[in-house]
Amino acid sequence: MSMRPAGSATATARGFRRWLPALFFVFLVVPAAAPALEIQPVLAEVAANESSTSFTLRNRRDTPLRLQIDALDWRQDGRDESLTPSVELIVVPRVASIAPGASQRVRVALRGGGDRARERAHRLVFREIPPPPEPGFTGLRTRLEVSVPVFFLPAHASPPAPAFRAQRGEDGTLLVTLANQGGRHARFSSLRLTWPDGALLGEASGVFYALAGGGRQVPLRTHSLPPAGSELRLVVVADGREESHPLHLE
């Protein structure tokens, strides 16, 4: 009978605070689920014969809301992902001012039309432009920041072809690599690494993408690392379906 190290994992949410000493207040970036702003849709997939899409923003506050809208190119190199200012996308308007309870439509268009040989991945980032603080204010304020995926689909593309690897990381982590050699992105809503009998080793919650022809690593926090060569299983949720994949720990 073989012995295995016990492990557990917790998914930690990372946040940050920006202290502006000259103004004596703090901005917090709040999650996309914040009720002050409603965005529809929360994911855009633009068909191959189209070159534009639109989003509807609704201000749920009882005060005006101003937003800056940035278009970013989204890339993955197999380990990390990067977001850089896009020259491919046109966003109108770039700054939205929305009255309490009102709505605003934002249009996004791809330069060069709809003829494309590969899927193009982007993100729109909606950032609140807060009003100046009142004189003497020293309290805590929040600032909305919401990121929404936008995919422009090619005319002929192979379906997602995800592949997975598990590796030993540093500082008590396991690394799961999500790769995708298909012509369209793959989307996963959770990751769990287990022993073959289902006992949990590590997990990560949230939404994870493997872009077409790309991929990224996801760290899973755990209290101990299984030995290299261990036979494990990766349980993922893809398109609402739970899948289990055997993995050999590298």
pLDDT in tens, 230-246: 999 999 998 889 999 99
Q: What share of residues in the chain are helix, strand, coil (percent, to 5)?
A: 0, 55, 45
Residues 202 and 108 reside in one and the same domain: no
Contact 235, 244 (CB under 8 A): yes
Structural domain contains residue 42: yes
167 shares a domain with 145:
no
Same domain? For 90 and 175 the reply is: no
| Mean pLDDT value across residues 158-180 | 89
pLDDT computed for residue 116 by the predictor:
76
Give the type of residue at 162: P
More confident residue, 31 or 88: 88
The parent domain of residue 36 ranges over 20-152
CA distance 39 to 19: 28
Q: What is the pLDDT of residues 7-37, one digit of tens each?
A: 333 333 333 333 333 333 333 444 444 468 9
Q: Does residue 137 sit within a domain?
A: yes
Return the structure tokens found at 65. 């809301």
CA 173 centroid distance within chain: 21
78 located within any domain: yes
68 pLDDT tier (thresholds 50, 70, 90): very high
Mean pLDDT, the chain, rounded, equals 83
If asked whether residues 29 and 147 sit together in one domain, one would say: yes
Q: Read off φ and ψ for residue 85, nearest 5 degrees.
A: -55, 135
Asked if the model's pLDDT at residue 249 lies above 80, the reply is yes
Which residue, among 161, 157, 166, 152, has the nearest Cα to 180 in the 3D structure? Answer: 161
Whether residue 227 contacts residue 145, with contact meaning beta carbons closer than 8 Å, is answered with: no
**Is 220 within 8 Å of 191 (Cβ atoms)?**
yes
51 with 84, same domain: the answer is yes
210 or 28, which is more confident:
210
Name the band, by pLDDT with cuts 50, 70 and 90, for residue 114.
Answer: low
**pTM, rounded to two decimals:** 0.79
Q: What is the mean pLDDT of residues 154-164?
A: 90
Report yes or no on 208 lying in a domain. yes
Please list, in sequence order, all residues whose beta carbon lies within 8 angstroms of the beta carbon of residue 13, skipping any fewer than 6 positions away.
Answer: none
